[in-house]
Amino acid sequence: MSFGADEEILQDFLVEAGEILEQLSEQLVELESRPDDANLLNAIFRGFHTVKGGAGFLQLHELVECCHIAENVFDILRKGERHVDSELMDVILEALDAVNGMFSEVRERAPITAATPELLAALARLAEPAANAPVVEAVAEPVAEPAGDVTDSEFEQLLDSLNAVKAEAEAPAASAPAMVPTTEDITDAEFESLLDQLHGKGQFAPDAVAAAPAPTEAAAPASNEITDDEFEALLDQLHGKGSFAADALPEVAAAVAAPAAPAAAAAAPAADGLISDHEFEALLDELHGKGKFTEVAGAAAPAATAATAVATPAPVAAKAAAPVAAKPAPAPAPARASAAPAPDKQPASEAETTVRVDTARLDDIMNMVGELVLVRNRLVRLGLNSGDEAMQKAVSNLDVVTADLQTAVMKTRMQPIKKVFGRFPRLVRDLARQLKKEINLELVGEETDLDKNLVEALADPLVHLVRNAVDHGIESPEEREASGKNRLGKVILAAEQEGDHILLSITDDGKGMDPNILRGIAVKRGVMDKDAADRLTDTECYNLIFAPGFSTKTEISDVSGRGVGMDVVKTKISQLNGSINIYSTKGLGSKIVIKVPLTLAIMPTLMVMLGNQAFAFPLVNVNEIFHLDLSRTNVVDGQEVVIVRDKALPLFYLKRWLVASAKHEEQREGHVVILSVGTQRIGFVVDQLVGQEEVVIKPLGKMLQGTPGMSGATITGDGRIALILDVPSMLKRYAARRI
């Protein structure tokens, strides 16, 4: 294998094939529930075929081999010569895993690891008709091909016509008169009739030829050459974009009119004269960018796949064949996988209206917009202080335009969360088979858009949560029946936008969580003592599953049980400035809700002052704010608390933590900011409230990087440098001081 091909071509292949492989993963899982869907079978067939074609162009032979045999399997399924079963799906999904592995190696420019011989042998076995597949007897009436399909024999006839044109165009000029037929030329009307016959529009009528006017020398074109554009257009017609229509290519029709009729008539094989898949693919490869057709390509098909061909076509007859005869009635196609009607012919594709832009360039634009937001904030502050009405109006207009620009640039970075959701049907299917459970996965809100970086960052947490729902939540079919439930469990993965945030939820109708069991596990594992566990609310008990090493499984398996998955989820969501909540009802199921901002680049914050220093709380964590009233505070177990609606919340004086000169200062006035950290609420005392402000997060320098409680810095509207607080890590670092 070599990556010497044009880098741009390779990148195009990586983008296109990556999208196709994502779709194949979803389509294959969907196929298990709709095994007789002809449209779905065709889509999967085309997916493997397209990846194979691109890999062949780049000479990625290992990838071509695996895709080709998988494609043959779906060709057999399309013909109804084999049916979808669990064994076939297991092999095909294993083949898709192998293709994905090879694709990843291509993307990393690493040597390709070919599929195992055992896998290829299993695929080859499935690519042969099943022994008990129904055989459809031939009948007299022809069966029309579905719109958009071209049979092997039809393709061969048109291919012969094209090759004849190319051969005549390249022949020496001296022999030209001898090669141009003088008596077998046909008119355009005859050629149209032949095309109609090729594409199943009815029996060929001999009187159509008889009634045609006598051919003249003027009917032959001045040159038999066709342009590259015409040739590519014809290929597009043959290569899966709909039935060939002569009126779509008038130049090509005129160019091949004379030689096409005798060649096509002579090449028309018997009713069962199909060519093998390998021969058909060899012809396609020759046409699809590898130059002129050679006889060797068609003959090079290995004998291993001979069983897939009904018969080998007879050699093409000489040009001086007898006049066109009526085409014999074709044999009916094997029973299709589904009787669903053929899809309507797609309209001609419009001119491309999208531009592919490197993500680094989008990041640069987003950074510049972030700087513009900071300047906007500064001007807004200056405008308010200036007292100049015209200045304030101009700044107000700038504020609106900047906000619109910020939204527009953010949208360029948005991607549908379907890119993450697409992997879960396969994941749930494999886990359900492994755990011997029956589970149906529902995806809701797949088109919800969010920042590209968030799409990638959410993938791993969602995998953990879905695995947890399948393994811990959904019961076995026997348990569900015993409790009066449907044997088929349900997991719903949903996404929706709520203001500047995205809500993701994972819901299952399983056994739910028992708070008492969670309390017992917490005490047994030493997470807390029994008295502390007894004081926990049900919601706080549910959140114990996020503790490191906490697991409700009694046995450790390769699926779960080590108590690390949910801890990773909590950490990752906190890094994304998000929150996670759990709702559960024993015996009915559980629901986990994740709330994350739409973008990580610009963050709404609450600006506060501690002395002369500005700090910023992420607004997503802020619940409420009120004036400090010492009469509402108390001390419980050595920890100062504030009473909010009859509930005691821990209270911390932020100034004592973050301002060195104020460690032992008694603070008798200020404001209390109540923040949510997971499902807990905590109060922080601050000196002043500045207000809400959108900020651009700037990373800390090397000396300050990793400082507990600090996630970054920003520039405020009045030009100050403000530190952005990371509340969870700050609590871990300072809360034990109890001051």
Mean per-residue pLDDT, 33-53: 89
Q: Are residues 544 and 609 in the same domain?
A: no
pLDDT at 373: 84
pLDDT tens digits for 611-652? 888 999 988 888 899 988 877 788 887 788 888 888 888 888
In a domain, 350, yes or no: no
Residue 739 pLDDT exceeds 50: no
Q: Are residues 536 and 625 in the same domain?
A: no
Q: Are residues 421 and 512 in the same domain?
A: yes
pLDDT at 578: 82
In a domain, 197, yes or no: yes
pLDDT at 318: 36
Residues 6+ apart with CB under 8 A from 731: 677, 682
Residue 472 pLDDT exceeds 70: yes
Residues 6+ apart with CB under 8 A from 204: 193, 194, 196, 197, 324, 326, 327
Residue 306 pLDDT exceeds 90: no
- Residues 448 and 416: their CA atoms lie apart, in Å, by 5
Q: Which residue has the higher pLDDT, 238 or 13?
A: 13
- pLDDT above 90 covers a percentage of the chain that reads 12
Total domains present in the chain: 5
Residue 159 pLDDT exceeds 90: no
Q: What is the CATH number of the domain that holds 639?
A: 2.40.50.180
pLDDT at 593: 92
pTM reported for the whole predicted model: 0.59
Q: Are residues 172 and 210 in the same domain?
A: yes
Q: Are residues 19 and 162 in the same domain?
A: no
CA distances to 145, 435, 439, 561, 661 from 553, rounded to whole Å, are: 56, 14, 20, 5, 49
Question: Picking from 304-308, 348-352, 400-404, 634-638, which range would have the lowest pLDDT averaged per residue?
Answer: 304-308
Residue 654 pLDDT exceeds 80: yes
In a domain, 133, yes or no: no
Residue 498 pLDDT exceeds 60: yes
- pLDDT above 70 covers a percentage of the chain that reads 66
Residue 110 pLDDT exceeds 60: yes
Mean per-residue pLDDT, 351-363: 76
In a domain, 329, yes or no: no
Mean per-residue pLDDT, 654-658: 84
Residue 586 pLDDT exceeds 50: yes
pLDDT at 151: 54
Q: Are residues 528 and 588 in the same domain?
A: yes
Rounded to 5 degrees, what are φ and ψ at 608? -130, 165
Place of tokens 């996965």: 441
Q: Are residues 668 and 683 in the same domain?
A: yes
Place of tokens 């015209």: 390
- pLDDT tier at 492 (50, 70, 90 boundaries)? very high
Residue 254 pLDDT exceeds 50: no
In a domain, 198, yes or no: yes
What is the residue type of 193? S
Within its chain, how far is the Cα of 655 from the centroid?
47
Indicate the burial class of 559 (C-beta count within 10 angstroms; 0-12, 13-18, 19 or more): middle
- Residues 505 and 485: their CA atoms lie apart, in Å, by 22
Q: Are residues 267 and 176 in the same domain?
A: yes
Mean per-residue pLDDT, 307-316: 39
Question: Picking from 227-231, 268-272, 411-415, 424-428, which range would have the lowest pLDDT averaged per residue?
Answer: 268-272
Indicate the burial class of 223 (C-beta count within 10 angstroms; 0-12, 13-18, 19 or more): exposed
pLDDT tens digits for 432-462? 988 999 999 999 998 888 888 888 888 888 9
Q: Are residues 431 and 505 in the same domain?
A: yes
Q: Which residue has the higher pLDDT, 221 or 511?
A: 511
In sequence order, what DSSP letters do the residues of 639-664 get, joined into one string? EEEEEETTEEEEEEEHHHHH-GGGTT
In a domain, 272, yes or no: yes
Q: Which residue has the higher pLDDT, 349 or 394?
A: 394
Indicate the burial class of 577 (C-beta count within 10 angstroms; 0-12, 13-18, 19 or more): buried
Residue 122 pLDDT exceeds 80: yes
- Which of 572, 597, 622 is at the close of a domain? 597
pLDDT at 199: 52
What is the residue type of 716? T
Q: What is the CATH number of the domain that holds 29?
A: 1.20.120.160
Work out the number of other CB atoms within 10 angstroms of the CB of residue 72: 22
Q: Which residue has the higher pLDDT, 354 or 185?
A: 354
In a domain, 135, yes or no: no
**Is residue 255 within 8 Å of 226, Cβ to Cβ?**
yes
Mean per-residue pLDDT, 314-342: 39
Residue 355 pLDDT exceeds 60: yes
pLDDT tens digits for 672-721? 999 987 667 889 999 999 888 888 888 787 787 777 888 888 888 777 88
Mean per-residue pLDDT, 421-425: 87
- Residues 587 and 589: their CA atoms lie apart, in Å, by 6
User: What sign has the CA pseudo-torsion 656, 662, 665, 667?
Assistant: negative
Residue 346 pLDDT exceeds 90: no
pLDDT at 276: 61
Q: Which two tokens stand for residue 141?
A: 């009436």
- Which of 538, 573, 597 is at the close of a domain? 597
Q: Which two tokens stand for residue 151?
A: 């049979």
Strands (E), 47-203: none
pLDDT at 289: 44
Give the 3-state DSSP-derived string for 450-499, with helices as H, strands as E and coil as C.
Answer: EEHHHHHHHHHHHHHHHHHHHHHHCCCHHHHHHCCCCCCEEEEEEEEEEC
Q: Are residues 649 and 582 in the same domain?
A: no
Q: Are residues 474 and 516 in the same domain?
A: yes
pLDDT at 4: 52
Residues 6+ apart with CB under 8 A from 404: none
pLDDT at 363: 82
Residue 379 pLDDT exceeds 80: yes
In a domain, 138, yes or no: no
pLDDT tens digits for 519-575? 888 888 887 888 888 888 888 888 888 877 777 665 555 555 444 568 788 888 887
pLDDT at 9: 82
Q: What is the CATH number of the domain that holds 473?
A: 3.30.565.10
Q: Which two tokens stand for residue 624?
A: 């409420």
Place of tokens 């046409």: 287
User: Which among 582, 422, 450 has a CA at the least distance from the CA of 508?
Assistant: 582
Place of tokens 């999904």: 93
Residue 389 pLDDT exceeds 50: yes
- Which of 597, 613, 630 is at the close of a domain? 597
Q: Which two tokens stand for residue 647?
A: 């509930």
Mean per-residue pLDDT, 479-487: 91
pLDDT at 615: 92
State the chain's mean pLDDT as an integer. 73
Domain span at residue 37 reads: 7-126
Q: Are residues 482 and 538 in the same domain?
A: yes
Within its chain, how far is the Cα of 403 from the centroid?
30
Residue 107 pLDDT exceeds 50: yes
